[in-house]
Structure 1
Amino acid sequence: MDSLSRLLPESSTVEGQDFLQTEEYLNNIDSEATPVALSTEEIENVSQSDPELKQVPEILVSCRRHELTYKRYLLIRHEFSSLGFLVLRGTKIVVPTVYEGYVFWN
């Protein structure tokens, strides 16, 4: 083995760091993208009982995106990520239908 190849980090360490960076990034979005009128916990609790948003994290985890019942999410399915029951589209929190029209952004 040459000297340069010994300087490269092991792949498991790199993968672990990538995962931690991704989780940290999502947590940052979570805190920055929360509407002023609501807390993140409130949105997450309501998202658990929202029939549309409840399905999105389950499908993201299982990679069965073709099984989305609510077709309005189908074309943009690749833009979603989830943090617990919080659904994100890019850097924005997807607001449950109960709170549509109620949310104020700073």
Structure 2
Amino acid sequence: MPTMKLSRALSAATASYGAYALARPSHLPDALGSQAGDRDGLELLSQSYGVRDLAVSAAGVFGSPRVVKAAMAIRIAADLGDCALLAARTEGDVRRKVMGVTLGWAGLNAVALLVDRKA
């Protein structure tokens, strides 16, 4: 039975981000260079990312291999969705940063899942 070590490690890292997003929701509007009128909504979005990431990560860290696979698929889909939505609302350097982080994390999770499935 596969142990899914790499997927579990990335799930733990994602949980760390989830905790950070809840503890410091202002990081998202700061990173996006948002205007004052958008800050409250982006802080709420950051908190929702935190809750989502902690919930999915708990399944990814503690679940059976089947549950870990599902959690990783959800994580990848969420990152791709985040990319599409945030990239549509940003431009220039901020858009590149958003796309780099979201697509990069989705890619790392996809590689981990593929490696773990073959192990």
Please say whether Structure 1 and Structure 2 have the same fold, judged by a TM-score greater than 0.5.
no
TM-score by length of 2: 0.28
Higher relative helix content: 2
Larger Rg: 1
TM-score by length of 1: 0.31
Higher relative strand content: 1
